[in-house]
C-alpha cells in the first residue's frame, strides 16, 4: 500500500482498536493554529499519550490550506522530537473532494461526514472513499444520523443513529463510526440532560466497532466514562480548549500585562503564552479521565 503521510504520523486504526478493547478513549483535539498544535503535541509527549489532532474544513481554510497544515504538523513532529503516536485527521469532511485532497496532501486519517445526504448516497460515497483511502493506508471514520448544533458551518439537527444503518455501514471497511446519541457541537444548552445510552448500546451491538463521540466538550464526566464502557473509543474536543484559551487570554489582558511596554507584553509570543499553557493543562485533564493518558 502507498503511504504518503509523514513517517512519524500514524493512521488511527490501532489507536482506536486498542482503546475499544481496553475500555478507554483516544482524545481527538481540533487545532486552529501553531500555538494550538504545539501545545497539544507537547502535552501528549509529556504525558505519553497517543493523540489524534484534527482540522475542520473551516480550520484548514483559516490556516491557509491543507499543505500549510501538513507542513506545520510534520515540522513540529520533527523539531519537537515527538515520539508518541500522532494521527492527523480530517474532521467532518463534507465532500469526496476534500477527503481525497487531505489524503493526497499527507493526512493519515479522514472522516467523511455524509450524514447530510440521503442514507443510500452516504453509504455509496463512503464505500468509494474507503477504497480510495485504503490505497494510502489512511484510517477512515464515517457518520450516520447527525450531531446536533453547529461547528465551522457544519449544522446538524441531532438525529439519533439507526442501528440497521450502523450494521450495514460498519461492513464497508471503515475503522470507526460516529452516530448521533444526543450529543451536540459547541456549548451544551441548559435544557440538555443526557446522552442516549440506550441508543449507544443498540448501535454498538449492531456495529461492534470503535465508535466516536462528537461534541465531547461539556458532557459530564460520569456520562463520558459510561459512554466509554459502552463502546465509545474516540472523543472529539474543540470548544473546551477554545474556552480555556479564551479565559487565560482574557485574564492576561484584564491584568493589563499586554500594556507593559517595558516587558514587551504586547509581543504575540507573550500574549498567546497563557492561552497555550491553558490548552495544555486542559488537554492533560481530559485525557486523564478519558483513560488514554500514558497509553503510548
Strand boundaries in the chain, DSSP class E:
26-30, 51-55, 86-93, 109-112, 139-144, 149-151, 154-156, 176-179, 211-213, 232-237
13-239: CATH topology: TIM Barrel (3.20.20)
Q: Judge whether residue 193 has pLDDT over 50.
A: yes
In the chain, where are the structural domains located?
A: 13-239
Instruction: Give CA–CA dist 288/224, Å, rounded.
Output: 12
| Active-site residue flag, 91 | yes
- The predicted-structure confidence for 157-166, as pLDDT tens digits, reads as follows 456 889 999 9
The pLDDT value given to residue 184 = 74
pTM for the full predicted model:
0.92
- The predicted-structure confidence for 13-39, as pLDDT tens digits, reads as follows 999 999 999 999 999 999 999 999 999
- The predicted-structure confidence for 57-70, as pLDDT tens digits, reads as follows 999 999 999 999 99
User: Of 91, 113, 152, 162, which one is the catalytic site residue?
Assistant: 91
- What band does 48 get if pLDDT is binned at 50, 70 and 90? very high
Per-residue CA distances from 129 to 133, 138, 141, 222 (Å)? 6, 11, 10, 36
The pLDDT value given to residue 148 = 46
- The predicted-structure confidence for 50-96, as pLDDT tens digits, reads as follows 999 999 999 999 999 999 999 999 999 999 999 999 999 999 999 99
Amino acid at each position: 500500500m502507498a503511504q504518503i503521510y509523514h513517517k512519524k504520523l500514524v493512521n488511527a486504526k490501532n489507536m482506536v482498536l486498542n482503546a475499544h478493547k481496553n475500555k478507554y478513549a483516544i482524545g481527538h483535539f481540533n487545532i486552529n493554529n501553531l500555538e494550538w498544535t504545539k501545545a497539544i503535541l507537547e502535552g501528549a509527549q509529556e504525558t505519553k499519550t497517543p493523540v489524534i489532532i484534527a482540522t475542520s474544513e473551516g480550520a484548514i481554510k483559516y490556516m491557509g490550506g491543507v499543505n500549510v497544515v501538513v507542513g506545520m504538523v510534520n515540522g513540529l513532529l520533527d523539531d519537537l522530537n515527538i515520539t508518541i503516536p500522532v494521527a492527523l485527521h480530517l474532521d467532518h469532511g463534507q465532500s469526496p473532494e476534500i477527503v481525497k485532497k487531505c489524503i493526497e496532501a499527507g493526512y493519515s486519517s479522514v472522516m467523511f461526514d455524509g450524514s447530510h445526504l440521503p442514507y443510500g448516497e452516504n453509504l455509496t460515497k463512503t464505500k468509494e472513499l474507503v477504497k480510495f483511502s485504503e490505497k494510502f493506508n489512511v484510517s477512515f471514520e464515517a457518520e450516520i444520523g447527525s450531531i446536533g448544533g453547529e461547528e465551522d458551518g457544519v449544522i446538524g439537527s441531532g438525529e439519533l443513529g439507526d442501528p440497521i444503518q450502523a450494521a450495514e455501514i460498519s461492513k464497508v471497511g471503515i475503522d470507526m463510526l460516529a452516530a448521533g446519541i444526543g450529543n451536540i457541537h459547541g456549548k451544551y444548552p441548559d435544557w440538555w440532560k443526557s446522552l442516549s445510552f440506550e441508543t449507544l448500546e443498540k448501535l454498538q451491538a449492531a456495529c461492534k466497532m470503535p465508535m466516536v463521540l462528537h461534541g465531547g466538550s461539556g458532557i459530564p464526566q460520569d456520562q463520558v466514562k459510561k459512554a466509554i464502557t459502552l463502546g465509545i473509543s474516540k472523543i472529539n474536543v474543540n470548544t473546551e480548549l477554545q474556552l480555556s484559551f479564551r479565559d487565560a487570554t482574557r485574564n492576561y489582558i484584564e491584568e493589563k500585562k499586554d500594556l507593559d511596554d517595558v516587558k514587551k507584553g504586547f509581543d504575540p509570543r507573550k500574549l498567546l503564552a497563557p492561552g497555550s499553557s491553558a490548552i495544555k493543562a486542559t488537554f492533560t485533564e481530559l485525557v486523564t479521565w478519558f483513560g488514554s493518558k500514558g497509553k503510548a
